[in-house]
Chain A
């Protein structure tokens, strides 16, 4: 029975963690490039230099001493996001959507005073949320005003679009929708749902919620399938350009759709998760093999995107 299951999963080309690590991340992502994506401050600067839109950086807190000046910096902004520069999996991200007198109001309606804010920033600096507990920096940036496109199927927070890019070719994609369980965060392991997106058309498919397939948002009850993302091709091109930007052969690119500023690159991930396969009900492995066989013939972003749209139809 176990072997039957393994066989069935192999037939649909499921990519397992061991294979992802051994044959893709370890082989295609040179270790020295990791800091480019692990440190969101560097990613941001890299993207800006290449003329790629990112959420505006309001400020950086690098040392404990700067926390004293934090209230002054934050005073100018009604809403903002505090995140660790080297955080993993969305841990330590604080979304402030407004204020109530001296207090900060988080995206899920809780109030925080200045002391709690300071402690949170201090925890970030001490490396509580960073890989391996290294000392870290705290970024304060623009809070994305998300496009109403996904409003009916997300619960607070910002839905984002994850595109897996292999050697410059977008191979699989999903939109991650926050739920009550994920506390407004768009991370699957925190309970957000991920709806697959047809690479060819930019239309949403069924979704994955904690290893199960769903068709409706667990909180709003609206259908997550069949939503067409506007200017999908532009998004694919944006993602494809990130290959040149970082040099990572296998990466996940996270994009948000801002109401006013259009698509913004949120971050890139050198070890993107595997649940995207459940959202798309398809395995990554055959697509990756296909890209590997053909990528030499694809010379620029347009060709890569065209290749993806031609072959990776849902």
Chain B
């Protein structure tokens, strides 16, 4: 009876899951396959700060329609704030203001941009004025000699700008450049100094700040470019490479030397920009073209969440996929692992570290932790203090590994911090106990089994199709759940059992 119940349950889950899936895929025409399905992006700026219980004014530079990108829709989200937008010197600004605010405040600016067809080159603009660069001795002399040097090696404004960028980015900068840039200059600093030097040389220049529109970025960095006025037009250069031209996915936000956000009446300002390819927009465009009402399923889908939360669910929805794989590997194949879900969590960490680095970092952490755990064994500690000590060691090892790999120039090593450390601690503890009780071979076997399962889970969880289907069609997880439930009553042999009992089959033949 209980078996029939299970079959009915699994069948209904499968039917419900597949029905929603096919409805969305065939009727609503949600995209089956991942990839660039639209040229529409959601861009979001999140501003948070602590208000001081006094009037607050926050101004944020916001993008405007350009030749490449058109603004489709904008949203300003805040509670109780007045909002105005102003355009000043070609920059747009949103200004939030309130008479009195207290405690943590969060303001959102959301914009939907669409890629526009880039037509002819930009129309000529007026000759801009040149701001006084404000150099003082000894910077003035340094700037002047740098200008003389660059001018001597160039023919026109274009080559001069490129030569200047090249000088500013020399691996061993000369004294003049070092004086002007200061220590460890950022791309922004280089662009700003280039603008000052060009101004000193009588050439108008400015810095552009913007973001690149990639598929998914939870914390999109600001990219700064150098613009130089040449032959009635603004020409763009990368302040590091000196390459002319704007990257095709570059959305400019504002120009000039001011910061992205200026805040009065608050502290602890924190800004995050996030970018995501807008699949919903593509989906809705499809729906609108079919003259359909925006259906309930879209309204209440994961697309209605803020971008940051969407990015989290993109990963979370993969966990059940990993868990299903784990069920298959453990109950059908018979691979032994440490801890039930440890391999899935390790696989999640692998997503950030990449597979090879993940395996290297994981193995070295466990090996180091294990050797220290064996040493602790001599001290005869009680269980909980011993576990806590291993946790200390794991955290210290993680930081040491990060520093070491960073010094060696292996930036990937930094991602070791993403390993779940409590899980690592438990793994080390259990491995050492298995090692003592059942011997090294059993411990290594289980360790390798865990690593194998984690790697397989990683490989499956990073397939584009899997990621896409799990996020766009989460109802498919119901089908996987049905499969998991059925596997819960699977009473056949495990693959590795065949090997274990092989001798029995031979004996009887």
**B-contacting residues of A (Cβ < 8 Å)?**
2, 5-6, 8-12, 14, 16-19, 22-23, 91, 115, 119, 122-123, 126-128, 133, 189-190, 211-213, 274, 277-278, 281, 283
Contacts and interface: CB of A to CB of B under 8 A. Distances in A.
Contact of B498 (A5, A11, A19): A5
Given A119-B380, A133-B383, A17 B494 contact: yes
A10 B334 CA distance: 17
B383 A16 contact: no
Nearest to A190: B438
Contacts, number: 76
Given A2-B495, A127-B383, A12 B490 contact: no
A16 B491 contact: yes
Contacts of A115: 380
Contacts of A23: 491
B438 A126 contact: no
A23 B488 CA distance: 11
B97 to A, nearest CB: 57
Contacts of A212: 503
Contact of A18 (B383, B490, B504, B509): B490
B360 interface: no
B505 interface: yes
A32 B437 CA distance: 28
B384 interface: yes
A274 B498 CA distance: 13
Contacts of B497: 16-17
B504 A9 contact: yes
B382 interface: yes
Contacts of B126: none
A2 B491 CA distance: 17
A14 B508 CA distance: 12
Given A9-B505, A14-B504, 14 more contacts: A5-B505, A8-B508, A8-B509, A9-B498, A9-B504, A10-B493, A18-B493, A18-B494, A22-B489, A126-B383, A128-B383, A190-B438, A213-B507, A281-B507
Interface in B85-120: none
B503 A14 contact: no
B235 to A, nearest CB: 67
Contact of A2 (B382, B498, B509): B498
A56 to B, nearest CB: 27
B331 A9 contact: no
A122 B488 CA distance: 38
Given A17-B334, A126-B382, A5 B491 contact: no
A291 B495 CA distance: 28
Nearest to B495: A2
Contacts of A123: 383
A11 B433 CA distance: 38
Given A22-B489, A127-B383, A16 B503 contact: no
A19 B334 CA distance: 13
A211 B383 CA distance: 34
B501 A278 contact: yes
B502 interface: yes
A12 B508 contact: yes
A7 to B, nearest CB: 9
A22 B501 CA distance: 19
B492 interface: yes
Interface residues of B, number: 28
A258 B170 CA distance: 87
A289 to B, nearest CB: 13
Given A5-B505, A119-B380, A126-B384, A18 B491 contact: yes
B4 interface: no
Contacts of B268: none
Nearest to A10: B493
Interface string B347-387: 00000000000000000000000000000000010111000
Contacts of A16: 491-494, 497
A5 B492 contact: no
B500 interface: yes
Which one of A16, A119, A133, A278 has the highest number of Cβ atoms from chain B below 10 Å of its Cβ?
A16
26 contacts: A2-B495, A5-B498, A5-B505, A6-B492, A8-B508, A12-B504, A12-B505, A12-B508, A14-B493, A14-B504, A16-B491, A17-B334, A18-B493, A22-B491, A23-B491, A91-B437, A115-B380, A119-B380, A122-B380, A123-B383, A128-B433, A133-B383, A211-B500, A274-B501, A281-B504, A283-B504
Interface in B311-327: none
Contacts of B437: 91
B494 A281 contact: no
Contacts of A274: 501
Contacts of A126: 382-384
Contacts of B502: 5
Q: Which 7 A-B pairs have the closest CB atoms?
A: A126-B383, A19-B491, A8-B505, A16-B493, A119-B380, A22-B491, A5-B498
Contacts of B507: 213, 281
Nearest to A133: B383
Contacts of B334: 17
A224 B383 CA distance: 41
Nearest to A14: B501
A166 to B, nearest CB: 16
A73 B383 CA distance: 25
Nearest to A1: B498
Contacts of B433: 128
A25 to B, nearest CB: 12
A277 B491 CA distance: 17
Contacts of A277: 501, 504
Contacts of B505: 5, 8-9, 12
Contact of B438 (A119, A189, A211): A189
